[in-house]
Amino acid sequence: MPIIVLSPFNVVNFPQGGGHFWVYMQYAQGLLRLGCEVYWLENFRTSGDEQVDAALLHTFFARMHRYGLDGKVILYESGHSGGDAAPLEYIGMSPAEAEAVFDKADLLLNFHYAADASVLARFKRTALVDIDPGLLQFWISRSQLTVGAHDYYFTTGETVGTPGAFFPDCDLNWLRIRPPVCLEQWPYAYNSDAGTFTTISNWDSDDWIVDGDEAYENTKRRAFLEFIDLPRLTAQRLELALYLRTDRDFEDRAALEESGWRVRPSAEVAHTPESYQNYIQQSRGEFSCAKRSCMKFQNAWISDRTLCYLASGKPAVVQDTGPSSILPNGEGLFRFSTLKQAAKALGAVNNDYKRHSEAARQIVETYFDAKKVTEQILSSVL
């Protein structure tokens, strides 16, 4: 039975991110269903307030218990910049227990791009998983991010490392996988009475792409505002569950609502892994736009969130991020580039909702089953 240590990023310190939690838990669930012994290793950043930290840890450990990782969590604190001999302070296990896990582990499956060299050095075999295809390679190539050496490099990007990619491969041998969904945890949830196409998203951030003299805002805000008039072209109800913070965000909310969108705070519907799942499974489908970097890189990107909709039998209408060898267009999943295409796709779904719901589930079963994805990882590495 292989022993796999997952190293996610910013889950314990982001308890309100129900969707963020699922990104990594899909891999854990796939590995568990293959019979692997799975450990969760994560950097915990203390707030300096003991009560706040205790609440964070209580929530996190309760979730790990719920999803089958009770007693398999190793949190570490480190304020140093790296070094093979740098000491770590552990939470959840004694140092001896944690080091014993590292020694016997067959693989560190690392999602933390900036993981300390001291952490990587503790494992005999390491693999990086790229869940930001195109962007990660851009950051590395422009020296905007330094990634430690790994034995293997996996990417969820369909075009990463191919001759047709619009971005460099950074002289790394990228092994292409697909983002996984655990079919057992995300069952088919057909409901012909569900009435609203939804999505869940951060709205604004300081995310800008800077490349020499070129710079552009790489946010969902910028993407959605280009399609703000969509409710005027369709009778389909559309709702955005957004993480809103600033005065400008709430000004945008007013503009969206004036154009016919319904807007809800994401904290109402996605503050836990269960509420996130419930919101998706009560939706009719997903409508979502993609960040500008996806358009520029043409990386055939599909969101892990969209895959959760599809697995639940919820058809998705999403912005086209480039030619794909596996993503359909017009059967369970619709990919649009213009307002008219988006409105037409929503109409097509509603004209034969049952067929498109079944097709949505079939897409995930065929291409994104977590057991198949993680089995590919293990066969490539072990």
Fold identical between 3-180+369-381 and 196-367?
Answer: yes
CATH of segment(s) 3-180+369-381: 3.40.50
Question: What confidence tens digit (pLDDT) does each residue in 4-47 have?
Answer: 999 999 999 999 999 999 999 999 999 999 999 999 999 999 99
Mean of pLDDT values over 58-79: 93
pLDDT score of 88: 79
pLDDT score of 369: 98
DSSP 144: S
Mean of pLDDT values over 233-261: 97
Q: In whole angstroms, what is the distance from residue 195 CA to residue 193 CA?
A: 6
Return the CATH class of domain 196-367: alpha beta
Q: Output the average pLDDT for the chain.
A: 95
pLDDT score of 213: 83
**Given the DSSP bridges, would you call strands 285-288 and 262-265 parallel, antiparallel or unpaired?**
unpaired
Q: What are the backbone dihedrals phi and psi of residue 342, each rounded to the nearest 5 degrees, phi first? A: -65, -45
pLDDT score of 83: 44
Question: What confidence tens digit (pLDDT) does each residue in 321-339 have?
Answer: 999 999 999 999 999 999 9
Q: At 73, is the pLDDT very low, low, confident or very high (cuts 50, 70, 90)?
A: very high
Percent of the residues in the chain that have a pLDDT greater than 90, as a whole number: 93
pLDDT score of 82: 43
Q: In whole angstroms, what is the distance from residue 180 CA to residue 27 CA?
A: 7
Cα angle at 350 between 224 and 220, to 5 degrees?
A: 10
pLDDT score of 87: 64
Report whether 314 contacts 225 (CB < 8 A): no
Question: What confidence tens digit (pLDDT) does each residue in 362-371 have?
Answer: 999 999 999 9
The ranges assigned to domains in the chain are: 3-180+369-381, 196-367
Cα angle at 364 between 134 and 309, to 5 degrees?
A: 85
- Burial string for 323-347 (b: 16+ CB within 10 Å, else e) reads ebeebbeebbbbbbeebebbbbbbe
Q: At 78, is the pLDDT very low, low, confident or very high (cuts 50, 70, 90)?
A: low
- 235 torsion bin: left (phi>0), alpha (psi -120 to 50), beta (else): alpha
The SS3 assignment for 306 reads helix
Q: At 149, is the pLDDT very low, low, confident or very high (cuts 50, 70, 90)?
A: very high
pLDDT score of 288: 98
Burial class from Cβ neighbours inside 10 Å (0-12, 13-18, 19+) for residue 262 reads middle
- List, as one string, the DSSP characters of 263-301: EEEHHHH-SSHHHHHHHHHTSSEEEE---HHHHHHT---
Mean of pLDDT values over 89-99: 93
Q: At 211, is the pLDDT very low, low, confident or very high (cuts 50, 70, 90)?
A: confident
pLDDT score of 80: 44
